[in-house]
Structure 1
Amino acid sequence: MAAETREAKNKSHIRKPWDGNIRDVVSLLVFCQGGEGEKLQLLVWEDQGIVTLPRKEITAQDTIQERETGGSPSGTALGTATAPSPLLIWPRDVSYELVAISLAAEVLKMNPSHVNSPQLVQLTRIYVPSLRRHFHHSVFAIEVSSKQFEKAQGLEGRVRLTLSELKKVPESKLERRNIVTVAEHVSSQLKGKCCDIGASLKEIGPHQIWHQVDSQHMTPDDQLLRSPGYREQDIELLYEEYVRRSYPHATVCFRDMKPFLTDLGWKDKEADIFRAMDGQKTGELGPREFILGLTAMDPMTSHGKGPAEIRCRYIFKYYDKNEDGQLGVTELKELVKDIAELQGLDVTPKSLEERTKKALETFDIEEDSKLSLNNFLVCVGNLRFRGTSLLLRANMSIIPHLVHKYGPSSTQKVRSPFRSPASPGLDRKKFRKGSLTDNERDQTANIQCSIPLSDGAFQSQDSGSYTLAHHTVKVRRSGQITDIHLLLDMERAGEVCDTGFDVDEMIPCDSNGEMQSSSMIAPEVPQLRHRFFDRYQSVEAFNLRSLPNEMITALRFFEHEKSGKPSLNWGEVDMMKLGQYIISMCAAIKDVFENEPRLLWLSTPCYILGDIHGNYRDLVCFEKALWRVGPHLTPANFLFLGDYVDRGDYGIEVVSYLFAQKLQATGKFFLLRGNHEVRDIQKMFTFHQECIRKFGERLGVNVWNAVNEVFDCMPVAAIVDKKIFCIHGGIPKLDGHVKDLERIPCPLPNPESESNLAWQMMWNDPVAAEDLNDDVSEQLMSNNGFAFNEKRQTAYVFNQAAFNAFLQRNNLTHVVRAHEVKQAGFEIQQSGRLMTVFSSSHYCGGSNEAACILVHNYRMRIIRIDTS
């Protein structure tokens, strides 16, 4: 075989976005009927040890018109010829039989006029949504004489095999098992002495996987597909990735699947993942197995009820290395070890043996026994065995990964003369602004749409009397503060005049803002102490030697690349000293949060930011865009809605930065508590392990505890300009007034058991349209618009009726929340009165953007930050 052909063959496994190069394909099975014994002999193609059938891609030259004008087909057995776009080729104009004859002539090195008429034995129709048309893979069978067969088998790349020999070829050496299926079909028809072999038809499309069904008729597979929030267009993205990996075949094999699994973070584990997805143990995946398997591994897929059972079946198969349907002690030990590592626990041999022994007791089996699938499912389902929710998770959300790689699935990208086939159950609803009834709006609560922002009806808080600050601040062009000077000193030096300051009231400071003496403070004069404290806080904010500013300086070093040290790296910094510094800062900031109300009342202008999740790089982007010279010199408040840690690599740096800014600008930087500011959640995810990894076992735990003691004291809600209610999760199920939130205890180490109100505001969600079913609807009707949150497996979801009642009862106009990742960094719901904001881009390896909201001048303006 020519080197060019082999190279083209190798490159065919590298799938690319549809660019007009996908074409119809014809494959050929050449056979000869033998004498006694073996009835069928086959001529197949072998390239680099892989057995396949010769095939050819259809070009515009292979049309009926070309045949009628006497044109001859061109191309090679493996389809290396170039061709125009497939949209120029209409299937009804293609003579597939002529292409098969041309292919047979090339394989057998014969004149096309001497080739017998081929018979179609299999036709596969594969629909590509983004191109809005079907593509066809036709398999023809052609019988040749024994003389022709003997002559052809001596040519390069051609291999003679009997049917029994073909069946014995290992799966890893077969391009697809369909070769055996086709050969068996031909053999069975010949045994019946049929003149016409007959053909089978396969049709593949996304409509075979996704169906619009109500909750009562949902299968477990339907529930799994909807668990991570997938919609029809997301299934199309997954399906087209399957076609990229499989075309022109009806299945995808491990060779084509391996690069994709590696991209998702399964390096060196691809074979085990593929085996877990291969439920039929055929060595190949159909579109349904492909999509369901990937969905089960998506980090956003729920681990509760139906989806949890399906995920557990995949997990069981993943660890069942010998495929005997049971987990031996060695296999169970590996499962236990992986859970411990993901939880950041000790995995020394001794501790691992103890955990394995405890697991055996949990499953009630002896060390010489094996764990059955049913026993595994029962123990996990009854919560007797915990930690499986962390297993079998890709390193990134799959849909954002595909969007980032190929762009969104869109049937608008390519205009095709072929109409999309009618797919059962895929009727699209059209929503027109102003055309929905109140009931319909409830049913479509989570549908994102583009609508103008409301001006609102804000009433700003009354401002107090203005006073002159006692110092000036010198700032570099980069925004870094370099020096401060007291105005009184400048007045004495004659640089300014008549500041109005009383010399006796001033506290002398050095050039760094350090107070030289505090002996003049009179404890018995409260007004003087209060006046001094205000001025001290103002000057201390710019003191470069203060605790928060030293932390900011250290973080600047961490952020930048310096003399061989990469960016976002501590280099040779003494991590033990840094850890102790963070613990000291936590002790200081804890007092600040303890003295704040549980419900904050803020004025505008105010920037509101959502989840950060350890994304220090994006936090710095927000700083440079919004408060480049620091919060004290920026005329706005800053409100963060929680989830500062977990899932990102720099959770400790994020909280250190935010705590430092809060310390030096207590009246301008405000931090609410999110659902990840809870110890049990952090142990399930990454922050607990991150602290230990950066500071060691003992100091890491101390740092983690110090940070969480601060989290325990954080406020849980805020109201901006008396009209905009801000929380991390969602509105609570509250019959009274929002002022009742002031009774939430502080500190709050266990919010789930100590304050149901706080727990709800950290976990609640607006109900999604696809999650509505009879059970949920009944709960919403009987519980004033609230129902159990199945997705989170805790707290509630709420509908528009509950949302409207909450706003009206508390004289509010809008709600701003975080808690859910959004592709654009934000989402607008509930007729423009509910906004979700997410401030960490590329979340879990995805392609989402980061955004924030500016509330100012009776407007709520969404700002999307370029974090590239």
Structure 2
Amino acid sequence: MSAKMSQMQGNGKLHDVVSVLVYFKTKGKHELRFLFCELGGSLYLPWEEVKMKERCRRVGDTTPSPEHWRRDVSYDKIARDIAVRTMEGMSGQFSTAPQLVQLTRVFISDLEGHYQHLVFCVQAEEKFSTQLLAKPPSDHRRALTLAELYNLKRGQLERRDIITLAEHVSHALCRLMQSKSAGKSDTFGALVREVGVGWLWEGQEDGQMSSYQALLRAPGYNHDSVSVLYEEFIRSSYPHTTVCLNDIKELLSHLGWKDKEESVFRAFDKEKTGELSLEEFFYGMAAIDTKTNHGQGPAEVRCRCIFRYYDTNEDDRLEISEVEAMVRDIEALHGRDTSQQTITAKTKEALQIFGVVDQVPLSLSSFLSAVGNLKFRGTSVLLRALVSPIMHLTSTHRHPSRKRSVSSDCSENDLKIQKVGSDTGLDGTTDNELEAVKMLVGRDLVDQELPMVLSSNSEASIPLSEGAFQSQDGQKYSLAQHTVKVRRSGQITDIHRLLDMERAGEVSDTGLDTDEASDHSPDPKSPKELVQQCMKIPTARHRLINRFQSYEAFDTKSLSNEMVAALRFFEHQKKNKPALHWGEVDMVKLGQYIISLCNAVREKFENEPRLLRLSTPCYILGDLHGNFRDLVCFEKGLWRVGPQLTPANFLFLGDYVDRGAYGIEVVAYLFALKLQASNKFFLLRGNHEVREIQQAFTFHSECLQKFGERLGQSVWEAVNSAFDCMPLAAIVDKRIFCIHGGIPKLEGSLSELEKIPCPLVHPESESYTAWQMMWNDPIAAEDFHDGTEKELEENKGFAYNYKRQTALLFNRAAFDNFLKQFGLTHVVRAHEVKQAGFEIQQGGQLMTVFSSSHYCGGSNEAACILLHNYQIRVIRIDTS
């Protein structure tokens, strides 16, 4: 049967199917025995595929008909023929005509119709019982009672649905025997099931979604995306309504789990039945999707899957060895040391975090608690496919019609925007390009978790093949996998994969088709072979992930680029819409989308150190305070073609919100670019990235005003949840210390900064060092009061900051000592408005930069700093 089913699925065609449940009464007992065929240790109902003739069309009629399958066949006759063949070699007759006991109708819109699986029951004469039970055990038929069916182990029945059918027949016969009208004309009644995609995807209000329903929306699936998963499920499961491991083993292998398919299937199988329902299959695919975030509801579901993945004996406990396996995978996926000594030590630390003592296994509740409270970190990289299941399925022969139309995006009607005519934007943006805005939808997404695997490592740290090109300083270069087309305005219009161009003959030899394999591996002949080779070669897997992320950075349907496209619409003046206005955009959907963005970027911040170490060239920007207009000016002047195509790092020193009118837009833009170029775009936390400060100023009220009280509060909390995890300082080229406020009073080494908690919800009480870095100022003449000099002398150059009524001031002695103590040459900070946009102090070694012009209605300019070629250059931006 398995071979036959495989053949049916392989040819891409589905047909009606008839199955038969043969039963007979056991002599002298009031119980039934049900007859099954056996193949490979599994019991199944005999069945037959019903192929029907295509309906004759009128002459010249070339239009396909939605009812092109004729259903004028006699299903009950087919059922009797199946029963006769099943009883071959045994004498006797059937006591009843075949009666329909179950009808399953499966709908696939792309195939223009539905298909049905009909199950009939047939009663055989009692003599069959004696003959069958006398057969030797090697016979391929088995007759079991209902009680014996209950006792069968998982996997011994092809589908557990068989038990439901047997119960239905048994109960129906009991009712008939008790009925006075029992006779040949009596019928059992049929169980009717209709399977379609809409019941799972539609009809759920966002506010009423469970964590599982939210998970399905987390990767940004739209109706077409879900239809692709649905069709794959039907082709794998039909004529049943569940899939077993063998049905999807090949798919799981292609997604990156060669030889580990059973573990992934176990992760999906939350009911431990050995089968996956349509719902479990959908949720499993969403859980492993590269675009599913690892925060809030989706994170809980994913963690439950991860727990089952490592729970090899399915006892709802993780043994020490299973925890060690998890720790090993986390370290390997992060590219860290996986020696046994290191893994043993890391496992011991993990067990302490989980509260495991005396070799007691780890419970699911303890695991979820530790991960949910961010005590045990790193699970976001686990259980991730090499590529999004949707992307894989739409690129294979099974779904050729969806290659262009389906992606992990959103319905164009989800965010309603006023209709725009043929006018263009301020920089020539056309109506077609504004269609990207319509892709927005509320989705809890993104770690875009696959990129999250790389977020704690720069591109240079990702292992490269031995054939990669190496520079004189020892750093290795590798060829990017795509070419980008850019307009004169700086806008990216198109990207092409170099490998596709090579295959089309446009370029000669990129080496990308063989770079994934080692020197000792044969060239991959197909995507399947490529993935299999990458799974065997750890460095190749990292390379594949790196290239996928690189491509995603330019994908117009990605979360970050959709957000940027929406902000372009917000920025531009259009017909019936002024500049810096959302027009008729559905703000509920926009708010939900921003929440998804925050969930995604939070995980980026979580995986960054508290003290960043960057290299030049590097642009440094100071306070923005909700000034979206000036942020756009900086974009057009510094990274017009995007950060990925600009050969520099970008460091923002904090204070993104409050005071200005567009705090949420500034945050959305910066978070989007952080997702788009996480290894080049860096954000530090300022003193206004704190809840209490925002409630005293304007950002909290801004969120409520733009999104309403309920959703606005959720948006505000999501933004601050990301702020809580932001890095606090950076060192550029090992010499220039960058911070929002000022140097802290630090007794130990700079490594002390790494011990600052993450997340840091209440900086003032949880880490006074962090609070100083967000608030400290260099002392000015007006800061001197009675006793200030004595306080500075007693505290090594630090004194209380009376002007701000919190944190500290520092003088030249404290500043010089800080540089000398930590081997630094300069400090770049923000935090104070300057008329020229910048100020230089302490003999040119301390620079303050402010990047929001006309702050609070003033006349100040906006500036930034460029570190390049061992020069510190101040750049003032004309924002007029």
Q: TM-score, normalised by structure 2?
A: 0.51
Deviation at 1:166, TM superposition (A): 3.8
Q: How far apart, in 2, do the equivalents of 1:788 and 1:733 lie?
A: 18
Contact 1:788 1:795 in 2 (8 A): no
Contact 2:619 2:651 in 1 (8 A): no
Counterpart position of 2:618: 713
Counterpart position of 1:10: 3
Q: How far apart, in 2, do the equivalents of 1:228 and 1:310 lie?
A: 14
Pick the aligned partner of 2:119 from 116, 135, 139. 139
Counterpart position of 2:672: 764
Counterpart position of 2:628: 734
Pick the aligned partner of 1:159 from 142, 154, 163. 142
Counterpart position of 1:32: 24
**Residue 248 of structure 1 aligns to which amino acid in structure 2?**
P
**Residue 146 of structure 1 aligns to which amino acid in structure 2?**
E
1:103 aligns with 2:95: no
1:170 aligns with 2:150: no
Contact 2:394 2:402 in 1 (8 A): no
Q: How far apart, in 2, do the equivalents of 1:399 and 1:652 lie?
A: 18
CA 1:732–1:274: 2 relative to 1, 3 Å: farther
- Equivalent position SS for 1:362: helix
CA 1:617–1:585: 2 relative to 1, 3 Å: closer
Partner deviation per Cα, 1:450-475 (whole Å, 9 max, x = no partner): xxxxxxxxxxxxxxxxxxxxxxxxxx
Of residues 197-206 and 187-196 in structure 1, the stretch that sits farther from structure 2 once superposed is 187-196
Deviation at 1:256, TM superposition (A): 1.1
**Residue 120 of structure 2 aligns to which amino acid in structure 1?**
F
1:378 aligns with 2:369: yes
Partner deviation per Cα, 1:284-305 (whole Å, 9 max, x = no partner): 1110011111111101101111
Contact 2:94 2:125 in 1 (8 A): no
1:284 aligns with 2:178: no
Partner deviation per Cα, 1:321-348 (whole Å, 9 max, x = no partner): 2222222322211111111111111111
- Equivalent position SS for 2:360: coil
Contact 2:316 2:363 in 1 (8 A): yes
Matches within 5 A, 1:86-101: 87-91=67-71, 93-101=72-80
Q: How far apart, in 2, do the equivalents of 1:317 and 1:199 lie?
A: 36
Q: How far apart, in 1, do the equivalents of 2:69 and 2:625 lie?
A: 56
Counterpart position of 1:500: none
Deviation at 1:266, TM superposition (A): 0.9
**Residue 709 of structure 1 aligns to which amino acid in structure 2?**
S
Deviation at 1:430, TM superposition (A): 12
Q: How far apart, in 2, do the equivalents of 1:121 and 1:205 lie?
A: 21
Counterpart position of 1:447: 438
Counterpart position of 2:555: none
Counterpart position of 1:245: 236
Counterpart position of 2:330: 339
Of residues 754-763 and 45-54 in structure 1, the stretch that sits farther from structure 2 once superposed is 754-763
Counterpart position of 1:126: 106
Q: How far apart, in 1, do the equivalents of 2:674 and 2:378 lie?
A: 27
- Equivalent position SS for 1:245: helix
- Equivalent position SS for 1:446: helix
Counterpart position of 1:68: none
Q: How far apart, in 2, do the equivalents of 1:792 and 1:300 lie?
A: 22
CA 1:298–1:112: 2 relative to 1, 3 Å: farther
Deviation at 1:581, TM superposition (A): 3.5
1:190 aligns with 2:190: no
Deviation at 1:167, TM superposition (A): 3.7
Q: How far apart, in 2, do the equivalents of 1:188 and 1:238 lie?
A: 36
Contact 1:759 1:795 in 2 (8 A): no
Counterpart position of 2:227: 236
CA 1:378–1:143: 2 relative to 1, 3 Å: same
CA 1:446–1:221: 2 relative to 1, 3 Å: farther
Pick the aligned partner of 1:224 from 201, 204, 215. 215
Contact 1:779 1:787 in 2 (8 A): no
- Equivalent position SS for 1:764: helix
**Residue 144 of structure 1 aligns to which amino acid in structure 2?**
A
Contact 2:324 2:343 in 1 (8 A): yes
Deviation at 1:239, TM superposition (A): 0.8
CA 1:428–1:28: 2 relative to 1, 3 Å: farther
Partner deviation per Cα, 1:570-603 (whole Å, 9 max, x = no partner): 55x8x8xx354455999xxxxxxxxxxxxxxx99
CA 1:788–1:55: 2 relative to 1, 3 Å: same
Counterpart position of 1:771: none
Contact 2:618 2:651 in 1 (8 A): no
Counterpart position of 2:571: none
**Residue 54 of structure 1 aligns to which amino acid in structure 2?**
P
- Equivalent position SS for 2:628: coil
Deviation at 1:400, TM superposition (A): 0.9
Contact 1:751 1:759 in 2 (8 A): no
Pick the aligned partner of 1:270 from 251, 261, 275. 261
Pick the aligned partner of 2:193 from 170, 186, 202. 202
- Equivalent position SS for 2:303: helix
Partner deviation per Cα, 1:336-362 (whole Å, 9 max, x = no partner): 111111111111122112211221222
- Equivalent position SS for 1:173: coil
**Residue 12 of structure 1 aligns to which amino acid in structure 2?**
M
- Equivalent position SS for 1:172: coil
Contact 2:620 2:652 in 1 (8 A): no
Deviation at 1:444, TM superposition (A): 8.7
Deviation at 1:230, TM superposition (A): 0.2
Deviation at 1:778, TM superposition (A): 5.7
- Equivalent position SS for 1:209: helix
Contact 1:732 1:760 in 2 (8 A): no
- Equivalent position SS for 1:395: coil
Contact 1:130 1:411 in 2 (8 A): no
- Equivalent position SS for 2:395: helix
Q: How far apart, in 1, do the equivalents of 2:154 and 2:416 lie?
A: 50
Contact 1:34 1:40 in 2 (8 A): yes
Q: Where does structure 1 lack aligned partners over 5 or more consecutive residues?
A: 1-5, 64-83, 414-425, 450-567, 587-601, 629-644, 656-674, 689-704, 718-729, 768-774, 797-868
Deviation at 1:201, TM superposition (A): 1.6
**Residue 734 of structure 1 aligns to which amino acid in structure 2?**
F
Deviation at 1:247, TM superposition (A): 0.3
Counterpart position of 1:294: 285
Deviation at 1:200, TM superposition (A): 1.5
CA 1:144–1:15: 2 relative to 1, 3 Å: closer
Q: How far apart, in 2, do the equivalents of 1:277 and 1:12 lie?
A: 23
CA 1:58–1:386: 2 relative to 1, 3 Å: same
Q: Where does structure 2 lack aligned partners over 5 or more consecutive residues?
A: 56-63, 405-410, 424-431, 441-463, 479-485, 511-539, 551-597, 640-645, 658-665, 676-701, 725-880
Q: How far apart, in 1, do the equivalents of 2:375 and 2:194 lie?
A: 44
Q: Which has the higher contact order (CA 8 A, sep 6+)?
A: 1
CA 1:157–1:90: 2 relative to 1, 3 Å: same
Q: How far apart, in 2, do the equivalents of 1:618 and 1:367 lie?
A: 57
Deviation at 1:735, TM superposition (A): 5.4
CA 1:734–1:430: 2 relative to 1, 3 Å: closer
- Equivalent position SS for 1:314: helix
**Residue 141 of structure 1 aligns to which amino acid in structure 2?**
C
Q: How far apart, in 2, do the equivalents of 1:321 and 1:115 lie?
A: 48
Deviation at 1:393, TM superposition (A): 0.5
1:53 aligns with 2:36: no
Partner deviation per Cα, 1:342-396 (whole Å, 9 max, x = no partner): 1111111221122112212222332422322222222212222211110110111
**Percent of paired sites with the same residue:** 32
Of residues 9-18 and 347-356 in structure 1, the stretch that sits farther from structure 2 once superposed is 9-18
Q: How far apart, in 1, do the equivalents of 2:35 and 2:340 lie?
A: 55
